[in-house]
Structure 1
């Protein structure tokens, strides 16, 4: 259960940084960054959805139409559809932890159908390991979003 408390704490921190963003700066790609604020915000949401589905295959992804915009390897430079607004992203991020926690809480000790391996050396083969990765990933993007907010401040 501590893992899920950390996950929820990470989301609270993330939302605090996101709420300092403005619609006017969401699509600015500062020098040295490969994506925009909007992409980073949506990427956190889409990643949690996708990793939860990987951990618990019966989970039904919410907003799967956002995956082509925000999964790893995508770029706002290639978007051909209108992305969600800041308000839509914030609402989705606020609602997501309750849904995800309910799915993960009774499955933490379960093995995942397909372990996730990063860099050929780090293997995550339980639901709890993926939940911890989600939390770490969210923390990374919280820092990126904070930095981008500072750089793009009006």
Structure 2
């Protein structure tokens, strides 16, 4: 699992770098032909990690219902994200890692609700969920590379 965790942390640091490269206005820009923006994708990967790991294991996790509901699958940006929420998302990118790994090492993810995700991953365990999460974060990073060309 060390390699999976290392890949996840690397992914999150890449996302974190976008806050240094782009203004809040740019993070909120939805280019023509797209249905979301950079900041929504960041919120979405945070919400999806929560769903895959914590909800899938029947655990509470570390994300508010409000943020989860705003960025879960099937949502889209309804209004620009304010600086306070952008700061929260920026902090969550990194602050989720340590407690999640600690929870994994404590063994709190013992049971898992088997399901197939919208991107075709069949999940039977939290191990599957972590691998799916890394794939999902890479997928959205690819979407964001496309968005970046137009902002």
> Shorter-chain TM-score: what band?
0.7 to 0.9
Task: State whether residues 50 and 61 of structure 1, in contact with CA within 8 Å, keep that contact through their aligned partners in structure 2.
Answer: no
**2: CA distance between counterparts of 1:83 and 1:27?**
10
String of CA shifts for 1:110-136, please: whole Å, max 9, x gaps.
551x11213696411011110011111
Instruction: Report how many residues are paired.
Output: 150
1:133 — aligned with what? 132
Ranges in structure 2 where 5+ consecutive residues have no aligned partner: none
**1: CA distance between counterparts of 2:114 and 2:18?**
31
Map residues 59-98 of structure 1 onto 2, 5 A cutoff.
59-77=60-78, 85-98=85-98
What TM-score do you get using the length of structure 1 for normalisation? 0.80
Task: State whether residues 24 and 83 of structure 2, in contact with CA within 8 Å, keep that contact through their aligned partners in structure 1.
Answer: no
Task: State whether residues 57 and 111 of structure 2, in contact with CA within 8 Å, keep that contact through their aligned partners in structure 1.
Answer: no
**2: CA distance between counterparts of 1:33 and 1:100?**
32
C-alpha deviation, 1:91, in angstroms: 1.1
C-alpha deviation, 1:139, in angstroms: 1.1
Ranges in structure 1 where 5+ consecutive residues have no aligned partner: none
2:150 — aligned with what? 151
Name the SS for the 1:99 alignment partner: helix
Mean CA deviation greater in 44-53 or 140-149: 140-149
1:118 — aligned with what? 117
1:100 — aligned with what? 100
Q: Label 1:142 to 1:107 Cα distance change in 2 as closer, same or farther (>3 A).
A: farther
Name the SS for the 2:96 alignment partner: helix
Name the SS for the 2:114 alignment partner: strand
**2: CA distance between counterparts of 1:75 and 1:90?**
19
What TM-score do you get using the length of structure 2 for normalisation? 0.82
